[in-house]
Amino acid sequence: MKYEAVIGLEVHVQIKTRSKMFTRVAAGYGHDENTLTDPVVLALPGVLPVLNKAALDAIIKAGLMIGCEIPAVCKWDRKNYFYPDSPKNYQITQYDQPICIGGHVEIELPGPSRNVMGEHKKIPVTRIHLEEDVGKLNHGAIDSLVDYNRAGTPLMELVSEPAMHSADEAYAFLTSLRNTLVYGGISDCDMEKGQMRCDANISIRPIGEKKLGTKVELKNLNSISFVRDGIEHEIKRQIAVLESGGTLIQETRDYDGQTGASQSLRTKEMAHDYRYFPDPDLMPVKVDAEWKSRIQSGIPELPFDKQRRFQEQLSVPFTITSVLVPDRDLSAYFEEAAKLAGPGKAQAVGNWIVNDLLRELGASKLSLADSKVKPAHIAALVKLVDAGTVLTSAAREIFVEMFATGDQPDGIAERKGLKAAPTDAGELEQWCRDSIVANPKALAEFKSGKDSAINAFKGPIMKAAKGKANPKAVDETLRKLLATM
C-alpha cells in the first residue's frame, strides 16, 4: 500500500526581551546558574505576576507578519503539572483564547538543482500563544541540579495545522519561520541556545484517505536538520509497523539525532491531565485597533517578498538572492550598494557581495558590520569596471586590497598600476582593423545580423594590447569600423 505522511509542528521560540515574562528580572543566556532569578521566578509565597508588554508586542508582530487574526481579547491560563523545572507547579500559558489565530507560513521547497528556485507553498498556522519558559535540569552522575535562569523567559508557541506531507516541507517551514522571526527582531532563533525548539507530530494514512491517522509526537529535536531526519525516520518506522500487520499507538517519542534512533517516552494513557484553568492573578488583555496598527507600522518586508522584488525589479538571479535574502543586514547592504551603483547594476553588485565580500569575510572571520568595504566601495568598483577603467581581473585584485585597507578602488587602481592603459586611438583602430581583416567568417556573421560575432575580434586585440585595452573603447571602435564595412 502507498502511504501519505501528515505532519504538524509545534514550535517554541524565546522572545528577545530585556526582562522576563511576568517580572522585571533580566532574561538572558550563558549566565552563572540561578543568577537571573527573583521571588516571582522562584514562586515565593505572596508574589504576583506583572505582564511584560514588550513580549506581547513581539507576539502581535510575529502574528501580523504571518497574517494571523489578533482577537480583541486574549487571556491567561494555568497549566498544572509537577516537575522540578517549574517552582510554581504550573506554567502560565494561554489555553482557549490565544493572542493570534490562523495565518500561514510561506515555504520554499528544494528546487530541481541548487541554481533553480523550488516550488512555494503556504502552510496554514492554527494559533500562536504566549507562555513562560521553564527552568533547566542539569543531570549529573548521581543527582540533578536545577537552574532557573531560563524560567519565566517569554516563550511563543506556534502550532501549525497538520498540513505538511514530507520532512522537506517541515524543514522548509522551520527555515522560513526562523528567517521571518529574525527579520522581525522577535528572536535570534538560535537552536543551539534553545531559543527555537520544535516538536513534530507525525501520522501516516493510505493515499486518498481523508481521515487522519494516529499521531506520534517527536520531542527534543534540537536542530532543523534533526527535525528533518527524525521525521524521515518516523515515517519509515510507522510504515514498517503497519506493513508488518501491527497497529500504531498515540505516543510521544524521543528522537536521538546522533544515533538516528527513537524510543517511546509516554503513551496516551499516561498523558498528563493539565487541569487548565484561568489564572486568577492575571486579567485578560484587550488588544485594540490602535495597538495593532502601531505594531503593523513597524513590520519589515518579509524575506520571500524581498526576494521576489530583487528578482523581478532588480533582475538579480535566484543564485544571488537566495544567499542575500535570508540575512536582513546583508540584503540592506546590497540594496544600498545597488542604489549607489545606479540602474542595471544590481546583478554586478550582488556578484561582488556574494562571491568576493562573503569569501573575504569568511576567511578573515569578520562580520559584515566590521567590514572596511562599505556599499559605496562596491558601487565605485562596479562603476570602474563598467566604464572600462579597470578590467574584471584587475578589479578582483583591487577588491582584496580594498578589503584589507578600506581604501577607495580608484586610488588602489592608480597606486598599483591596475588601470587599463589609455590606448592611443590610432593604435587601437589599427589593432581593430587587423583583427577584423584576419577573421572574415566573423565579419560575415556580424554583417548578417549576429551581433555576438563581434566578440570574436576582441581576443586578438586584447592580446595586441597586452590585456590593458579599455574594453569599452575596443567595443566602440570595432562597431565604428564594422559599420563602414
Ligand X SMILES: Nc1ncnc2c1ncn2[C@@H]1O[C@H](COP(=O)(O)OP(=O)(O)OP(=O)(O)O)[C@@H](O)[C@H]1O
Q: Which stretch binds ligand X (CB under 6 A): 2-10, 30-38, 145-153, 440-448?
A: 2-10
Judged by CB under 6 A, the residue of 91, 201, 262, 477 near ligand X is 201
The contact mask relative to ligand X for 209-248 (x = CB under 6 A, - = no) is ---xx-x-x-------------------------------
Q: Alpha-carbon distance 61 to 41, whole Å? A: 26
Judged by CB under 6 A, the residue of 4, 33, 161, 168 near ligand X is 161
Residue 289: contacted member of ligand X, Mg ion, none (CB under 5 to 8 Å, by partner type): none
Nearest position to Mg ion, beta carbon:
10
Q: Does 202 bind ligand X (CB under 6 A)?
A: yes
Question: Shortest gap between Cβ of 282 and ligand X (angstroms)?
Answer: 20
Q: Does 270 bind ligand X (CB under 6 A)?
A: no
Judged by CB under 6 A, the residue of 4, 10, 401, 445 near ligand X is 10
Q: Alpha-carbon distance 394 to 156, whole Å? A: 51
The contact mask relative to ligand X for 421-460 (x = CB under 6 A, - = no) is ----------------------------------------
Q: Does 159 bind ligand X (CB under 6 A)?
A: yes
Task: Pick the closest to residue 73 from 295, 275, 282 (CA basis).
Answer: 282
Question: Shortest gap between Cβ of 144 and ligand X (angstroms)?
Answer: 23
Residue 419: contacted member of Mg ion, ligand X, none (CB under 5 to 8 Å, by partner type): none
Give the binding-site size for ligand X (rule: CB under 6 A): 16
Q: Is 466 left (phi over 0), alpha (psi -120 to 50) or beta?
A: left
Q: Alpha-carbon distance 445 to 458, whole Å? A: 15
Residues in the site for Mg ion, rule: CB under 5 A?
Answer: 10
Q: Do residues 40 and 153 make contact, with C-beta atoms less than 8 angstroms apart?
A: no
Nearest position to ligand X, beta carbon:
8
Residue 324: contacted member of ligand X, Mg ion, none (CB under 5 to 8 Å, by partner type): none
Footprint of ligand X on this chain (CB under 6 A)? 6-10, 159-162, 201-203, 212-213, 215, 217
